[in-house]
Amino acid sequence: MPDSAASAPRGALRARLVAELREQIRSGALGPGAALPSVRALARERGISAFTAAEVYNVLVAAGVLEARRGRGYFVAGHPAVAAAPAPAAAADALWERRLEARALPILVDAGGGWLPAGWQYGEGLRAALRAQARQPLSAHGYGDPYGLEALRQHFALQLGARSIAVTADQVLLTQGASQALDLIVRTLLEPGDRVAVEDPGYPPTLELLRARGVRLVPVARLAGGPDVEALARAARGGRLRALFTNTTLQNPTGTTTALPVAKRVLELADAHDFRVVEDDIFAELAPTPSPPLAALDQCRRVVYVASVSKTIAPSLRVGFTAAAPELVRALARAKVLSALASSELSEQLALGVLTLPHYRRHLETLRRRLGASQARVQQVLLSHGAELAHRPAAGMFLWARLRSRESVGRLWRAAAAAGVLLAPGELFRPDGRATPYWRFNVAQSDGDGLLRFLDALASRERRSL
């Protein structure tokens, strides 16, 4: 290695050498079972310290690329599939399979994504909480309380109390994001063959959980003011309903919020026909003036309330919760123990640290303003290109829009992906999976030149085809 390398930062030297060895293994220059130089020999060959050479090998062993054989040295892992360079990571959400399909393409605009851009997340708060947590001793409670960190449950109970939902900390169960809460609810409340009302369009992971449970989905149209209560009444009269799953505030994917008269009618029907209401209210804190949740009107008699911190802090902080009647929370906690023993107390301590920072409320206010401004700009861009908006939300992350195009959904999706724009096809949000010309747009991800360029190109293709 040239002398200049000796003065480079050790981390940069290590990363460069790791990349070089990975490439040699990927290309076949070093085949499965091939022996590598000893740590001291590698250090001499590359002009680096033995410590740095050992770190290089440790990184490759941890990645499964090399094998360390005691007393013999380091060898390329015996299976070519293990030694191959890893494929690019595909973010996990409702678009996961579509992301796998598009992984070979450079995605510049994640227009259909389900989370906020990295720069919008509360990284500053999370870093502050991490620093504070690093100064604390590790918990002596083993796997932790199955109900979750008590201090965080108390915090969420107080937070719900401010929204007129009177629950104790014992009625709050912490989970690994809202997704685990929904999974526990589905497995605890429902049996295969049960009839369950769901919104059309609705949240894809919930629909997938219900399909996996083997229940019968009964679609209820999502209107500007919430679920279509007339359709819900017909569904309830048509046979025993066990539950309604609804996303109350700034619904995913339509951006609509349930109006108070609709909320009251939903609860009247639940009482009259004896079914539960699972209220996914994950976007409540993104609303400048959120409507009263169903749980506030019902006080968690029939309503099972679900929320998380993924949309307000960071999607990688997997902390959510559910609040419900005491006997149901106990049943959900038993189900949680069977599947996971407990949720991560370390993550819960981090979440509590962020939520109690003095500037957290300011972060929320900034986030709401930015989303409101992006809603206005992205709506205008879509309308100026002939798109049809199902609704005109003034806040939140999502829009439900129909693009002006005569191409099939599949061809349009592939054309967008080829242009670096990842769209979310509406069929993913339909209970029956049927194709629809509507698409979900994340306004925070779509607010820029990338989507505009694609829409301009789409309009040009449409004009040429006339």
150 and 298 in a single domain? The answer is yes
144 and 267 in a single domain? The answer is yes
Residues 6+ apart with CB under 8 A from 217: 196, 198, 207, 210, 211, 431, 432
Q: Check: CB of residue 8 under 8 Å from CB of residue 66.
A: no
Structural domain includes residue 442: yes
366 and 307 in a single domain? The answer is no
- Identify the pLDDT of residue 225: 97
Q: Which residue range(s) make up the domain with 218?
A: 124-355
142 and 64 in a single domain? The answer is no
Last residue of a domain, one of 321, 355, 389: 355
Supply angle C-alpha 319, 181, 260, rounded to 5.
Answer: 100
Structural domain includes residue 455: yes
Structural domain includes residue 445: yes
Last residue of a domain, one of 25, 54, 83: 83
Structural domain includes residue 200: yes
- Identify the pLDDT of residue 11: 67
CA–CA separation, 113 vs 93, rounded Å? 8
Structural domain includes residue 195: yes
Asked if the peptide bond before residue 315 counts as cis, ω within 30 degrees of 0, the response is: no
416 and 279 in a single domain? The answer is no
- Identify the pLDDT of residue 86: 54
Domain count of the chain? Answer: 3
CA–CA separation, 372 vs 443, rounded Å? 9
What CATH number is associated with residue 151?
3.40.640.10
Supply angle C-alpha 213, 215, 220, rounded to 5.
Answer: 125
69 and 208 in a single domain? The answer is no
CA–CA separation, 466 vs 457, rounded Å? 15
111 and 187 in a single domain? The answer is no
79 and 101 in a single domain? The answer is no
What CATH number is associated with residue 109?
3.90.1150.10
End-to-end Cα distance, the chain: 62
- Identify the pLDDT of residue 87: 56
216 and 291 in a single domain? The answer is yes
- Locate all alpha helices (DSSP H) within 274-355, ordered by sequence: 294-298, 326-340, 345-355
434 and 456 in a single domain? The answer is yes
Structural domain includes residue 40: yes
Last residue of a domain, one of 56, 83, 110: 83
pLDDT tens for the chain, residues 1 to 466? 333 444 455 567 788 898 899 889 888 889 898 999 998 899 889 888 888 888 899 888 878 889 988 888 899 987 544 434 455 677 878 777 777 777 667 889 999 999 999 999 999 999 999 999 999 888 767 888 999 999 999 999 999 999 999 999 999 999 999 999 999 999 999 999 999 999 999 999 999 999 999 999 999 999 999 999 999 999 999 999 999 999 999 999 999 999 999 999 999 999 999 999 999 999 999 999 878 999 999 999 999 999 999 999 999 999 999 999 999 999 999 999 999 999 999 999 999 999 999 999 999 999 999 999 999 999 999 999 999 999 999 999 999 999 999 999 999 999 999 999 999 999 999 999 998 999 999 999 999 999 999 999 999 988 887 7
pTM more than 0.85? no
Structural domain includes residue 90: no
Q: Check: CB of residue 320 under 8 Å from CB of residue 340.
A: no
What CATH number is associated with residue 76?
1.10.10.10
249 and 288 in a single domain? The answer is yes
314 and 450 in a single domain? The answer is no
- Identify the pLDDT of residue 232: 98
CA–CA separation, 457 vs 245, rounded Å? 39
Structural domain includes residue 88: no
CA–CA separation, 303 vs 300, rounded Å? 5
